[in-house]
Amino acid sequence: MSQALVLGGGGPVGIAWEAGLLAGLAEGGVDLAAADFIVGTSAGSVVGALLALGRPAADIAGPILAEAARPREIPQQAAQDRPGAPNMMLLMQKMAEVAAGERDPVTVRREIGEFALSAQTADEESFLGGFGRQLASAGEGVWPGRGYACTAVDTETGEFIVWNADSKVSLSRAVASSCSVPGVFPPITIGGRRYMDGGMRSATNADLAKGHDRTVVIAVRLLAGEIGDRMMAPVTREIEALRDAGGAVELIVPNEASSAAFAGNLMNPRNRPAAAQAGLDQGRALSTTLKSFWQ
């Protein structure tokens, strides 16, 4: 029986929640890191890479939980009132158009790419530095020894890209490109081209897990109601495709306590400890019911 783990996007706060969730599940005997294939998008690319490199979920969540005693400042590159900050409503509008299927998605992604390239952000090397520290256990060009992939989008063509060991690119650059939120972080240069967040295609890109017998999809849903449903529509379609292909799928989204911990802002690092704790509690509570599915 082949198993897949899909980790969706969600900013720095999403990383915290996913890490806590996975740690809580592992405490209850559900080791999602044992999946044959792990695919991450944006925030999920960071957590997925660390898991695939053999780092226990508890070790990823632990330092984030410890941040409660020393709150972090909002980095200047993520502050909406920084000089030259772009109008992020434009990005949200275009992402909603892709989710709703109102326009050709590749065309919209090219427009988002133009937005990403024109935005004033931190320089690329400074942004990459953070990923170099997080992925220090892997040398340059080294990928996890088992199935791992992360996603990105070409800013010029709008083409969807899947990075894996066969891509022969730096793991830190691949993960950074998957996390390059347009307007917030700089597009990442790989092979002479510039790449942005894989979440510009889908929050999870769960259809990449097609062909596996059992898949757990973890999606960070921030907005409730009709707007949230529209943004989750691609994820719903991807899960239906997995099931149509004969796979069994479990979807995990934030419960009420986890959603409250996000405080409406997935980019504010001060929300990370609470999100990690809420994820830990949610994972512990889910472990009993998820164990029979995963094992």
pLDDT tens-place string over residues 154-189: 999 999 999 999 999 999 999 999 999 999 999 999
What integer is the mean pLDDT of 31-50?
97
What's the whole-model pTM score? Answer: 0.92
Percent of the chain with pLDDT over 70: 89
In the chain, helix, strand, coil percent, each to 5?
A: 55, 15, 35
Per-residue pLDDT reduced to its tens digit, 201-234: 999 999 999 999 999 999 998 665 665 677 788 8
**pLDDT greater than 60 at residue 140:** no
DSSP string, 9-74: --HHHHHHHHHHHHHHHHHTT--GGG-SEEEE-THHHHHHHHHHTT--HHHHHHHHHHGGGSPPPP
Of residues 199, 10, 43, 193, the one with CA closest to residue 117: 193
The neighbour count for residue 270, using CB atoms within 10 Å, is: 16
Six-digit token string for 115: 């937005």
